[in-house]
Amino acid sequence: MNRLNRDQMAARVARDIPEGAYVNLGIGLPTKVANYLDTGRDIFLQSENGLLGMGPAPAPGEEDWELINAGKQAVTLLSGGCFFHHADSFAMMRGGHLDICVLGAFQVSIHGDLANWHTGEPGAIPAVGGAMDLAIGAKQTFVMMELLTRQGKSKLVEACTYPLTGLGCVSRIYTDLAVFDVGLKGARVIETVDGVSIDELERLTGVPLRASAPA
């Protein structure tokens, strides 16, 4: 079966981010999306530790450890970028000013519930960071993940079994096999990787999937 690799997934997400969008890319896999944004267009990357207009990583040796992203990696600031404190940063999310947020996930339900912060396993030390604020704050929350776990279990589920990050907050899921819209009416396949059928996706996920209406 054809599958997108992680860079191809990132490139696919990047295609759906329009010029002028204010965007937060979550820690981990979503960070890769930045590598595929068209540098000829103005897209404003926000990092919740207090910068807007985030640029790429600095050259080795040029790191300034007071200029970092939410993953605590050294970054740069684009001309026109700015700094702000944490309450303003989260007001950008919770206040609905951010257009798009892209997050990783352990599970997403067909109704857009998200689980991405805690496995709930005994002994696991929980850490939530900004995940709950990001999930419910942005105008649109995208998830980017492999459709199946390494054990072959679907991460798109009828109902999340991991502890929730937010209820009904995800609108779109980009995976290695297909792109889905999720919400009140359930999951819908928007596009598939070449050679993957809706029947195959239903078999893999075990959830009902309505095909996208023809354009």
Partner 1 sequence: MIDKQVANAEAAVADIQDGASVMIGGFGTAGMPDELIDALITRGVGDLTIINNNAGNGETGVAALIKAGRVRRIVCSFPRQSDSHHFDAAYRAGQLELELVPQGNLAARIQAAGAGLGAIFTPTGYGTLLAQGKETREIDGRRHVLEYPIHADFALIKAHRADRWGNLVYRKTARNFGPIMAMAARTTIAQVGEVVALGDLDPEAVVTPGIFVQHVVAIAGVATLAAAAA
Q: Which residues are catalytic?
A: 48
Among residues 6, 15, 41, 86, the one that binds partner 1 under rule CB under 8 A:
86
Give the interface segment with partner 1, choosing from 44-52, 102-110, 150-158, 202-210 (CB under 8 A).
Answer: 44-52
Q: Say if CB 17 and CB 23 are below 8 A apart.
A: yes
Give the interface segment with partner 1, choosing from 76-84, 138-146, 180-188, 192-200 (CB under 8 A).
Answer: 76-84
Supply the minimum distance, in Å, between the C-beta of residue 193 and partner 1.
Answer: 33
156 vs 108: CA distance, rounded Å: 5
Q: Which of 87, 65, 85, 83 is nearest to 74 (CA)?
A: 65
Give the interface segment with partner 1, choosing from 47-55, 97-105, 191-199, 202-210 (CB under 8 A).
Answer: 47-55
Q: Say if CB 30 and CB 144 are below 8 A apart.
A: yes
Asked if 118 interacts with partner 1 (CB under 8 A), we say: yes
200 vs 152: CA distance, rounded Å: 14
> CA torsion angle for 20, 34, 32, 107 (degrees, to 10)?
-20
Q: Which positions touch partner 1 (CB under 8 A)?
A: 47-51, 64-68, 72, 77, 83-87, 89-90, 93-94, 118, 123, 125-133, 136-137, 163-167
